[in-house]
Amino acid sequence: MTMPDTDRPLPGLTERLRLDKWLWAARFFKTRGLAADEIDKGRIQVNGQVAKASRELRAGDVVGIRQGPVERTVVVRALSTVRGPAPQAQQLYEETAESIAARLAAAEQRKTAAEPASAIEHGRPTKRDRRQLADWRRWSASADE
């Protein structure tokens, strides 16, 4: 297996680009529509401010991306209108050291967290248990009825 050639110039480079197009090209989201939806929900910030999908990015801008419980902070290095393979997409940004540390800490916390299913002591109710519950609900009518 050979390493990708990172010295090759990126295709479709430009000086300014819409935020939703860049998020798609940098492979943070699978489609531009998903990127635009996340921007509309306020989960994307540019230079500390909530942004719109039409916001034009420039190299050097700091983009904050909240994906689920994980907050990522990346610095825009290049702008490309073409969605290329992952190694090319990773050349479009640089994740900050604090962001990497927070992401790794969140991943470790998820690994060590208790399994939600282990809180259930007896598992699913059996047919007999369900019948008892149904019978109990039938006889627990309020005094108003």
CB 54 within 8 A of CB 76: no
- 62 token code pair: 């700091």
43's tokens: 């989960």
* Global pTM value: 0.71
Tokens standing for residue 18: 């819409």
| pLDDT digits 0-9 by tens, 24-54 | 999 999 999 999 999 999 999 999 999 999 9
**Residue-range domain boundaries for the chain:** 13-112
Q: What is the pLDDT of residues 111-124, one digit of tens each?
A: 888 877 676 677 78
CATH fold, domain 13-112, is 3.10.290
Task: Give the dihedral sign, CA 43/44/50/54.
Answer: negative
